[in-house]
Chains A and B, each alone.
Chain A
Amino acid sequence: MSGVRVLVGTRKGAFLLTSDGKRERWDISGPHFAGWELYHLKGSPADAKRIYASQSSGWFGQIIQRSDDGGKTWQQPGIPPGEPTTTPDGMPKGESNKFVYDTSSETGKPLTTHQWYDGTPHPWEFKRVWHLEPALDDPDTVYAGVEDAALFRSTDAGKSWRELAGLRGHGSGDKWAPGAGGMCLHTILLDPSNPNRMFTAISSAGAFRTDDGGKTWQPINRGLHSLYIPNPTAEIGHCVHRIAMHRSRPGVLFMQKHWDVMRTDDAGESWHEISGNLPTDFGFVIDVHAHEPDTIYVVPIKSDSEHFPPDGKLRVYRSRAGGNEWEALTKGLPQSDCYVNVLRDAMAVDSLDKCGVYFGTTGGQVYASADAGDTWAPIVRDLPAVVSVEVQTLP
């Protein structure tokens, strides 16, 4: 019988929640990497046993972890303990936690500063990996979105990383500025119909697309309107929180922006607002039903300072019309005195029938719906603050 494995990243470790296809009873594994921040874990679409995890700490920096057995055991990809870290001629070997910005003249223009909050130049400094996106067809290839914003790729299962410098170097990088959470590249979408096309999003620079496998990039922010920047329709500077795609229709993207829920039907060439009757169009997460490309989910959050649900009611909103017309999904969710947040990488869907929908909160709950959002139940209630939720549908 098929099943699911929910990968949960929290402020103090990772947890794996597994169930059969009924999704009623759950086994909880964890905490893995206790005490560390787990910004993201994600499984390979090409090999369900392969999982990548981003482990970080303000004290000790970034660690990449990899599991080849579905999360039972983990390793840092690369050099076994006891082996020298340099080759006989003194060159460093690949190191899985080494992310170095590329400023070489061959692969990108030297780019050493971006804008700080006050508009002054600020050095580009690597802080952590926000998002790991394994390739669709190769378990050894994985992309990493990092803070300060850049895109890296590993083709050796996480042992070594090389920046796709064309993104930072495309022309606007020196004008990017951080959002409240830092200047992070948090969304990586791979087009299943076109291996050369990829979308990324950066807070708070905007959305970007490559059509040549990551060599060159262009901003795709036309139609976005952000009142919190001097020019509300500027080419860059928009605080995109999350973008979602249905694999059957990769030219259609849905975006939860700092304010506004947006949609494009032409791969980002132009966006239009689909906030419709939402109680607030601020929020972080957005996702698409596994089998219905026009069914989308958001969790409205009251404002950009309060960061909790309106009226203390935790409600997922679902649109079956690709936006504009939204219904509140409340069954099983707290409808009073609830003041948690749902962060940008903390919602995911499985591909069972019916589609399962999952999200985690800063209060440590992970909620699941096995009926596409009609009803909800907590899988766990008392984890550390949840940063990310991903789901693997198991054969």
Chain B
Amino acid sequence: MIRVTLPPHLRKLSHVDGEVELDVEGRVTQRSVLDALEARYPMLRGTIRDHVTQKRRAFVRFFACGEDLSHESPDTPLPEAVATGAEPFMIVGAIAGG
């Protein structure tokens, strides 16, 4: 079970409270986690990564286990603690003014 935290606007958009728990088949990477997230919550497609290029939106960042993973390859395996559900994969809106 993969745990994902969303920023408040995206929690509201997807009608969830607290963390999201996802089953991810195969390797646990940014791409596989986001694929599973968007399959569960299709209203999030386009809000975290571009529809076409699949690149992370500029003001969205990814963290886990105290590390900034925003600039990692989307196919790099996420930390073991994320894959086991011990730590959440955090999707964060950049602090960039009101």
Contact = CB atoms under 8 A, between A and B. Distances in A.
A90 interface: no
A81 B93 CA distance: 22
Contacts of A36: 9
**Interface extent on A, as a size class?**
20 to 34
Nearest to A93: B42
Q: Which of B14, B42, B57 gathers most chain A CB within 10 Å?
A: B42
Given A79-B42, A81-B15, A83-B42, A63 B51 contact: no
A85 B9 CA distance: 21
Interface stretch (B22-30, B33-41, B66-74, B78-86): B33-41
Nearest to A80: B42
Interface stretch (A53-61, A210-218, A303-311, A318-326): A53-61
Contact of A95 (B8, B14, B45, B60): B45
A286 to B, nearest CB: 31
A60 B10 contact: yes
A72 B42 CA distance: 23
Contacts, number: 62
A108 B10 CA distance: 35
B46 A97 contact: yes
A interface SS class: loop
B53 to A, nearest CB: 10
Interface residues of B, number: 25
Given A60-B60, A97-B46, A82 B94 contact: no
B60 A78 contact: no
Contacts of B59: 58-60
Contacts of B94: 59
Given A95-B46, A97-B46, A98-B51, A59 B41 contact: no
Contacts of A82: 40
A60 B42 contact: no
A35 B9 CA distance: 8
Contacts of B1: none
Contacts of B52: 100
A271 to B, nearest CB: 38
A62 interface: yes
A342 B96 CA distance: 26
A60 B9 contact: yes
Nearest to B46: A97
A59 B57 contact: yes
Contacts of B15: 81
A57 B42 contact: no
Nearest to A81: B41
Contacts of B7: 59-60
A35 B10 CA distance: 11
Interface in B2-27: 7-10, 13-15
A81 B40 contact: yes
A60 B51 contact: no
Contacts of B14: 81
Contacts of A113: none
A191 to B, nearest CB: 32
Contact of A85 (B39, B48, B57): B39
A84 interface: yes
B44 to A, nearest CB: 9
Contact of B45 (A57, A58, A98): A98
A86 to B, nearest CB: 8
A280 interface: no
Given A58-B59, A60-B10, A97 B41 contact: no
B33 to A, nearest CB: 15
A63 B10 CA distance: 11
A115 interface: no
B34 to A, nearest CB: 11
Interface of A: 35-36, 57-63, 76, 78-79, 81-85, 93, 95, 97-98, 100
In the A-B complex, the 8 residue pairs with the smallest Cβ-Cβ separation, listed nearest first, are: A60-B47, A59-B59, A79-B42, A59-B93, A85-B42, A98-B51, A97-B46, A76-B43
10 contacts: A35-B9, A58-B59, A59-B7, A59-B60, A60-B48, A60-B93, A63-B13, A81-B42, A85-B39, A97-B43
Given A59-B7, A85-B38, 8 more contacts: A57-B9, A59-B96, A60-B9, A60-B60, A85-B39, A85-B45, A97-B43, A98-B51
